[in-house]
């Protein structure tokens, strides 16, 4: 099961997680990051790197964030990969 970026990343976008991803599964849009479920190898390295606890294993996504599973899958197909640390957005 891949990991999923959820709502706490919205308008936050810390990029600590991207740096540790061994397969470059993260994608970036203007307001948040998403994970490409076809690339993610479910290693979990990104989970502890997220300071806002926005990343969950797909099977552990809280009910209120379930829509983010499809959002990650859809958005990741059209967004560029990110594998380097950037300045987070100001909330």
Which candidate, 34, 61, 62, places its Cα nearest to that of 46? 34
Task: Kindly report the pTM of this predicted structure.
Answer: 0.95
| Confidence at 72, pLDDT banded by 50, 70, 90 | very high
| C-alpha dist (Å) from residue 81 to 43, 64, 67, 71, 77 | 18, 26, 21, 16, 10
Alpha helices in 6-91 (DSSP H): 16-20, 67-75
| Confidence at 91, pLDDT banded by 50, 70, 90 | low
Q: Sketch out the chain's domains with CATH numbers.
A: 3-75 (3.30.70.20)
For residues 81 and 24, is the Cβ–Cβ distance under 8 A?
yes
Which candidate, 40, 12, 26, places its Cα nearest to that of 75? 26
Q: What is the pLDDT of residues 14-67, one digit of tens each?
A: 999 999 999 999 999 999 999 999 999 999 999 999 999 999 999 999 999 999
């Amino acid at each position: 099961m891949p990991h999923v970026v959820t709502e706490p990343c919205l308008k936050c976008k810390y990029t600590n997680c991207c740096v540790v991803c061994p397969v470059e599964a993260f994608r970036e849009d203007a307001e948040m990051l998403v994970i490409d479920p076809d690339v993610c190898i479910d290693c979990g390295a990104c989970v502890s790197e997220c300071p806002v606890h926005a990343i969950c294993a797909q099977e552990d996504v809280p009910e209120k964030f379930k829509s983010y599973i499809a959002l990650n899958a859809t958005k990741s197909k059209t967004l560029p990969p990110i594998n380097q640390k950037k300045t987070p957005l100001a909330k």
